[in-house]
Amino acid sequence: MIEILDDDSQASIQDRGRFGWRAIGVGSSGAMDALALERANLLVGNAADAAAIEIPGTPLRVRFRTAVQFALVGAGAAAKLDGRELLPDSTSPAHADAELQVERPSVGTYSYLAIRGGFEVPVVLGSRSTHLRGVFGGHEGRVLARGDLLAHGPANADAKGVFGLTPPRTTLALPGDAPGIAHVRVLPAAEYDRFAHASRAAFWTTAWKISAQSNRSGYRLIGPNLDLETPLEMRSHGLLPGVIQAPNGGTPIIQLADAFTAGGYPKIGTVIAADLWRVAQAPLGSALRFVQVDYAAARAAQAVLDADRARVRMWIDLCRGLGA
C-alpha cells in the first residue's frame, strides 16, 4: 500500500490511456507525458503502460507502507526519500514506512511515480486511467487526496538498486530550446488557409506564453489574437490530442489528454504526436514556439523518438541485468 499524505496535489492515477471508446465520447485520458510514464515503468520492471501516479507540477508526499522498488520520472522535480535526496529520473528501493517528498519542479511539469507491480485500481473500459470529467477510472474517478491508500502489485524482494536516465529534454532537445522556451513541431490543419495572412505569420513567429488556466484538458496560449479571413461556423467533428484550435478572434488552445473528443472551432495546426511530451513538460508561464513541418518530417520525428525509446529500454535492461 501507498498512503497519500497531501491534499491539493491534483495528482491522479494514469496509465497509457483508454483507447477505442471515442465513438461514444470517451477520450483517452492517460499520462500527459507518455514517454515519462514509459520510462518510470521500465525502471521498476513493469510493463511500459502500467498505471502510475501522475503529479502535475505540484508538491506531494507519500508513505510506502511496505518495502517497494519505485521510480520518479518526468519533470526533474527535486525529491527526498526519508530526507535523503534522490537523483532525478531514477529508481530506488524504499523500506517499509519510508516517506517520499516530491517538490514543485522548476524545469518541467508532469512527474510519474511508478511502483514495481503497478497500481491495482479497477480497469474501467479497458484502462486504469482516471477520467476526471466522467468521474470513473483511477482511484474513485478523482484526483488523489490525503489518506487515500493505493494498492499495488506484490512487493518484490529482488530490489534492483539505484540507477537513472538522462531526461529527453537533454537527449532530444530541438534547436533553439532554452530554459523557459520549448519548440514543438506542428502540421498545418484543415482551416489553416482560412486564417488571415498576418495571423498565419504570427502563429509561427510568436513565443506563445502558456496560460495559468492550462491543465490536462488543454494548454491555453497567451499572445496575439488569430483572425479568420471570414467567420466560419463549422460542423462538430472528432478531435485528438495535439489539435490546436483557435476561435475566430481568439488565442490558440492545444487539446490534450482530457480534451473533448469532438468540437467545432477552427483548427490552425496539430502538434505532432512525437512532441506531445514537450508540450506536457513546458511549465505554465513558459513559452512555446511552433515549428512548421510536413508529414514526412513528422513521421521521421516519430522514428527518431521510437529509436530513442528502444535505446532507453536497452539501457534499462542492461542496468537491471547487472543488478545495478
Binding site for other proteins (CB under 8 A): 19-27, 124-125, 131, 133-137, 186-187, 189-190, 231-243, 247-250, 260-265, 270-274, 295, 298-299, 302
Q: Which is nearer to other proteins, 85 or 233 (CB)?
A: 233
Closest by alpha carbon to 123, among 6, 16, 261? 16
Q: How far is the CB of 319 from other proteins (least distance, A)?
A: 29
CA 308 from centre of chain: 17
Q: Which is nearer to other proteins, 124 or 174 (CB)?
A: 124
Cβ(246)–Cβ(252) under 8 Å? yes
Q: How far is the CB of 183 from other proteins (least distance, A)?
A: 16
Q: Which is nearer to other proteins, 163 or 203 (CB)?
A: 203
Q: How far is the CB of 270 from other proteins (least distance, A)?
A: 3
Q: If phi over 0 gives left and psi between -120 and 50 gives alpha, with beta otherwise, what is residue 17?
A: left
Distance CA 34, CA 57 (A): 15
Q: Which is nearer to other proteins, 241 or 283 (CB)?
A: 241
Q: How far is the CB of 216 from other proteins (least distance, A)?
A: 13
Sheet of 110-115: strands edge to edge? 12-14, 52-56, 110-115, 68-73, 90-94, 163-164
Q: Which is nearer to other proteins, 89 or 275 (CB)?
A: 275
What is the Rg, in whole angstroms, of the alpha carbon atoms belonging to the chain? 20
Q: How far is the CB of 132 from other proteins (least distance, A)?
A: 10
